[in-house]
Structure 1
Amino acid sequence: MEVVGRLYYDMEVVGRLYYDMEVVGRLYYDMEVVGRLYYDMEVVGRLYYDMEVVGRLYYGMEVVGRLYYDMEVVGRLYYDMEVVGRLYYDMEVVGRLYYDMEVVCRLYYDMEVVGRLYYDMEVVGRLYYDMEVVGRLYDDMEVVGRLYYDMEVVGRLYYDMEVVGRLYYDMEVVGRLYYDMEVVGRLYYDMGVVGRLYYDMEVVGRLYYDMEVVGRLYYDMEVVGRLYYDMEVVGRLYDDMEVVGRLYYDMEVVGRLYYDMEVVGRLYYDMEVVGRLYDDMEVVGRLYSIIRLEDVTLTMETPIPEHSERS
């Protein structure tokens, strides 16, 4: 109820996220303040990059935040009926958007965001980084999912009450996620299969990287997910009841999307759409480790409307 999270750098503590029902968060750059996120029923926060504004998060029952990429939009987050936010990259997305009625969080940047995000009732998650994001995502009841690309953001999350999403690579289609009470989607890497998401009332999907496992999603009614990097722990994301997902960049955390009530979000790649995730009603799917699904017990509460059209 106090500590939201802590960001730890590979060798040093990059920062910590504290939750006090009031503080949204602050983004700190290695030598300067990257930005601060403020929440007042309207403005969620703003992310500032060392030399330029990385992005700003706005919250007013419509827009949660927006991250801007130096030359193009890396991504955008859309809320179930409105826009949740947008992620923009400047040179690297330093921060993340956290939503929990009041707490946004604080993002700290040292040289790379290693940190950890903690959820006020439980631990939101931990991100592990070493040289690549292997990560794991855990779903509780409403997690949509996350896309992790080895060196870049694979895709975007779109929420439109029906479609789960599709992942597109810069020059080719990395993959697409389909939701039909069985298959959530499949993620394809430019040269190989990055992963696939399968949904069959138990397993939502698995992400496979061309040569290694990009991530794993575990579900245990408490832990939403943990991202483990090849050699060291960069952080972990734990969700208590409603975390949606996070996006992790190969060398730095591009950002994460935290779902408090219904935020899905969309992530955009530098020059093209890397991918899109579409949510059917609330929960799109869950990603489970391709290596092992341990203690996975999830059920899809949201039925598929017969009139729904799949994209």
Structure 2
Amino acid sequence: MPSWKDQMPSLGTLGPLIALVLACGFFALQSEQFLTGANFSLILQQVMVVGLIAIGQTLIILTAGIDLSCGMVMALGGVVMTKMAHDHGLHPIVAISIGFAVTAGFGLINGLLVTRIKLPSFIVTLGTMNIAFALTQLYSQSQTITDLPAGMTLLGNTFAIGQTQVAYGTVVMLAMYALSWLWLRDTATGRHIYAVGNNPEATRLTGIATHKVLLLVYVLAGLCYGLAALLSVARTGVGDPNAGQTENLDAITAVVLGGTSLFGGRGMIIGSLIGALIVGVFRNGLTLMGVSSVYQILITGILVILAVATDQLSRKGGR
């Protein structure tokens, strides 16, 4: 009969949630503004773009890969959809669809290079990151796209829950996490993703087409970046060619803090949401305390190192 210790959730599962609760408790003691509905709504709006990117990043990291191009691909998708609507007068739905096609196309290219040519995901996505950045600047002529139709910024609007205004984009992000969690937990394809990350060769020998699983993961990640681009446009009201320059590292930070192993095969998608919220809470709380943004970056870096060290120690302990 398993002991109570064996039945308890692992540190990798509970750790991120405990860290989030402790951070909220600390900042609540430091600022009266922290524990307000308006501030929590602001935190969710601030993390919704990175949160969406982190879903795609989680899928890739679960397969023991990594995607450095996510932020730049998101920026390119945002510029494409806004220019299609503004310059060419396309209906917002058509313009948004073209933007999604571009981001999914980059995901497909990444996936094909990883699966067919067997290039490391780090090298592939480092290259496509630079390609996406160059295309974004060339296509936009480094100019911000403004005067967008209302349909492009709809998800940036808010609705009231009590006295708190909540953005529709926040609801979309939370719904995407719920759907992704159910998909990974309850479908064969979701379980195959974990299997590929754990042991791709053993998974292949069981008859699972590992290259198809990987290709699906990269395309789905690209679609997540497209949705993140739409949320970014909705929140800012513009197509910004300079967007996405730090979102790749922010998304990886969220995934790592959320307990997903960089070695693949282990982690929960909800953990990435918690990781994004941890970063958002720290930045918001430190801002309320008047702490310089330099220290915010410093603390975020320390948190990432601690999270990776915890993952490494837990893996050694499990051997």
TM over 0.5: no
Higher relative contact order (CA 8 A, sep 6+): 2
Find the structure with the greater CA-based Rg. Answer: 2
Please identify which structure carries the higher helix content.
Answer: 2
What range describes the TM-score normalised by the shorter chain of this pair?
Answer: under 0.3
* Structure 1 length-normalised TM: 0.21
Please identify which structure carries the higher strand content.
Answer: 1
